[in-house]
């Protein structure tokens, strides 16, 4: 096992064309540098046709900076960035499936749910599904609390994040590329 000394958690975002096989290309770059992906989520971005990958990994800054350069070098990748936690607003969702019978004996259930700002998604005779949105430490705290109810299933989503920066770099980049395209076409027509 490798130690996480000198390493901190970075959030890497990747904006790409919506093309088959990109996840593979990106994950290979992590693997080659022996970086373990802690969490991953993929979704459309606010820009039509552009996909966004949000990946977290422990690394030192030099490694992550080089990784981002290598990711950006892949042909179908538009832009890639890395952030520390204070540069982004981020969330994760966790789901906890607990036997309903166990919960019914709990007098403080309401307090727990309130205290953790969680909510109940579904209740059946057999099980109850609780949802908690928050940071890693928060979803873990609820997990610890619910442990005594015999959690049957637990899952936490990959991190999703948006930047705090007022500049929308990807949008600016896409606009710049559109101008470049016009320029290239103008040159071709002139020839």
Partner 1 sequence: MSEIITGAEALIRSLIAEGVDTIFGYPGGAIIPVFDRLYDYRQQLRHILVRHEQGATHAAQGYARVSGRTGVVIVTSGPAATNVITGLSDAMMDSTPLVVITGQVGSELLGSDAFQETDVIGITQPVTKWSYQIRNVEDLRWAVARAFYIASTGRPGPVVLDFAKNAQVATMEWKGYKKCHFVRTYEPNPDINIADVETVAQMINQAERPLIISGHGVEISGGEKELLNLAEKAQIPVVTTLLGMSTIDSGAKLFKGLVGMHGNVAANVAICRCDLLIAIGMRFDDRVTGDPGHFANQAKIVHIDIDSSEFGKIIKPDATIHGDARKVLALLAGCVAPAQHDEWLADFDRAWQVENEKVIAPELNSTRRITMGIVARHVAEAAGKGAVLVTDVGQNQMMSARYFKYTAPRSIITSGGLGTMGFGLPAAIGAKIGAPERTVCFFTGDGGLQMTVEELGVILQYGIDVKIILLNNNFLGMVRQWQDLFYDRRFSETQLVNPNFVMLANSYGIAAEDVETLDKLDAAIDRMLAHKGAYLLNVNIDPEELVYPMIPAGAPISTILLNKDEKYEN
Our finding on whether 16 is near partner 1 (CB under 8 A) is yes
Among 33, 63, 72, 100, binds partner 1 (CB under 8 A): 72
Region binding partner 1 by CB under 8 A among candidate stretches 16-24, 33-41, 120-128, 136-144: 16-24
Residue 125's contacts (CB-CB under 8 Å, 6 or more residues apart) are 100
Q: 54 forms bridges with which residues in the sheet?
A: 13, 41
Minimum distance from residue 183 beta carbon to partner 1 (Å):
9
DSSP 8-state class, residue 157? P
Instruction: Give backbone dihedrals phi and psi of 151, rounded to 5 degrees, phi first.
Output: -60, 125
Site string for partner 1, 31-60 (x = CB under 8 A): -x----------------------------
Sole window of 92-100, 118-126, 134-142, 175-183 interacting with partner 1 (rule: CB under 8 A): 175-183
Q: Which residue has the tokens 């928050």?
A: 134
Give residue 114's Cα distance to chain centre: 26
CB 52 within 8 A of CB 86: no
**Cα–Cα distance, 125 to 138 (Å, whole number):** 28
Residues 74 to 113: which contact partner 1 by CB under 8 A?
Answer: 75-78
Give the helix, strand, coil percentages of the chain, each rounded to 5.
Answer: 40, 35, 25
Q: Which of 61, 73, 164, 172 binds partner 1 (CB under 8 A)?
A: 73
The one among 36, 43, 44, 66 contacting partner 1 by CB under 8 A: 66
Q: Residues interacting with partner 1, by CB under 8 A?
A: 16-17, 20-21, 24-25, 28, 32, 65-66, 69-70, 72-73, 75-78, 174, 177, 180-181, 184-185, 188
């Amino acid at each position: 096992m490798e130690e996480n000394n000198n390493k901190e958690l970075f959030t890497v975002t990747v904006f790409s064309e919506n093309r088959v096989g990109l996840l593979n290309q990106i994950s290979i770059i992590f693997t080659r540098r022996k970086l373990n992906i802690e969490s991953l989520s993929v979704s459309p971005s606010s820009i039509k046709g552009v996909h966004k990958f949000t990946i977290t990994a422990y690394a030192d800054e030099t490694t992550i900076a080089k990784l981002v350069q290598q990711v950006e070098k892949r042909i179908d990748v538009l832009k890639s960035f890395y952030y520390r936690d204070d540069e982004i607003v981020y969330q994760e969702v966790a789901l906890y499936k607990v036997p309903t019978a166990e919960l019914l004996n709990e007098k403080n259930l309401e307090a727990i749910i309130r205290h953790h700002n969680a909510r109940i998604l579904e209740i059946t005779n057999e099980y109850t599904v609780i949802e908690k949105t928050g940071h890693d430490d928060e979803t873990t705290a609820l997990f610890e609390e619910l442990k005594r109810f015999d959690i049957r299933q637990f899952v936490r989503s990959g991190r999703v994040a948006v930047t705090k920066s007022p500049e929308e770099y990807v949008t600016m980049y896409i606009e710049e590329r559109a101008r470049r395209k016009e320029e290239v076409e103008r040159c071709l027509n002139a020839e």
